[in-house]
Structure 1
């Protein structure tokens, strides 16, 4: 695991098309994009009964983390369970592959299934589930275009069509009902290790400001709570 910088911005359609054209001339498309120009990402976030991950993000707590399940293109062939930690402006991601059976147990809140697992990340989550009463709370879905560059391990993504799922138990349902949640069209994310090459940084127009204060989990959770009359 490596600490990485992660910067997020909200951009409009014109900024997206201009920047994408510039980046495509220097960076390579992520292998996930081939043969299509984008791929679907669906994520199920977990939180405790105090919604600590949700509130810590909004409060800008210096050190925080969140757990999530993730699949791509509505397929269960690759299912990832992740703990994403934020330490200031740095991000640390611990990822493990899980089976469909394990994912179904997580969604059903059958966490005792992992009491004797040898997987350290699942062990950690199991212990937290006992101490903090974890449960799945929000389904997040979007379309992603990703570009990579070896120097600095740069990864730049454009996320569009951000949607919130209406029920966590529809995580593997390709036809699960979702609702659009953003007024602006594109979320731009820039990730790199120690170095962000100046010849890439220089492609970004000065108009791409300010940084996005809220992550996709909080944006979708806000809509969920608003629908329930809790905001």
Structure 2
């Protein structure tokens, strides 16, 4: 593992609304709401995922490759005040994230095919993106859209999220479109539960989650949405 990165545990489960109500009611008494959550305890996430000319990220996930990366641009509540280009790194059962902020103009330039905005030699991740786009034809593939209900705990640096209403944009890279033509990509009764933590998961949270009654999934939102669109890919221009 790269010692400069902070790797964390990540567990994913597909649960139904009955399980969601039971677990979330327990967690409300044990954990804090994420400070970024709105009045309903939620916020909206929209990500534009990228893949290369051979759809490496998609095929490695489907093929069960344990060490892999994914690239995405992420925004919140369909606003442009916070835009990040992110790389999610998976090593065995651990995950890490590298990210750099983008301006709206930089985002628009990248979508238009002007990758020179990424050529910033003092920022290794930006240079990595520049090389991926110019040499491996990293391109936007699919929009992933959902509502997140997050809980946090300082003990173990635990973060538990319920991701609801998973939707995908139909052949669009316009993540700032508030009227995006999107469709549900997962059964409407299903929610993705994610449990992230550092060295340990406190016992009282384990008890509240009752993980032994849940089936762990490899619930990649990117793959779910790509499979929903039947592996359609973008034309490179």
Q: Is the 8 A contact 1:107 1:168 kept in 2?
A: no
Q: Which of 101, 104, 125 matches 1:100?
A: 104
Residue 57 of structure 1: how far off its partner (Å): 1.0
For 1:76-115, what per-residue CA distance to the aligned partner results, in whole angstroms no more than 9, with x for missing partners?
A: 0100110100000000100111100111122223213323
| CA distance 1:201–1:90, shift in 2 (3 Å) | same
Alignment of 1:40-189 (within 5 A): 40-116=44-120, 118-183=122-187, 184-189=189-194
Q: Give the ranges of 4+ consecutive aligned residues of structure 1 lying more than 4 Å apart after TM superposition.
A: none
Deviation at 1:17, TM superposition (A): 0.3
CA contact (8 A) 2:8 2:96 kept: yes
Q: Is 1:221–2:221 an aligned residue pair?
A: no
Work out whether residues 165 and 177 of structure 1, in 8 Å CA contact, stay in contact via their aligned partners in 2: yes
SS in structure 2 of the partner of residue 129 of structure 1: helix
| Structure 1: tracts of 5 or more residues without a match | none
Corresponding position of 2:201: 196
Is contact 2:143–2:173 with CA below 8 Å preserved after alignment? no
Counterpart in 1 of 2:22?
18
Aligned to 2:117, what secondary structure does the other structure show?
helix
Aligned 8 A contact 1:57 1:214 in 2: no
The secondary structure found in structure 2 opposite 1:76 is coil
What SS does structure 1 have at the residue aligned with 2:73? strand
Scaled by the length of structure 1, the TM-score of the pair is 0.93
- 2:9 paired with 1:5: yes
> Which sections of structure 2, spanning at least 5 residues, go unmatched?
none
More off after superposition, 108-117 vs 2-11: 108-117
> How many residues align structurally?
228
Tell me which of 24, 31, 34 is aligned to 2:35: 31
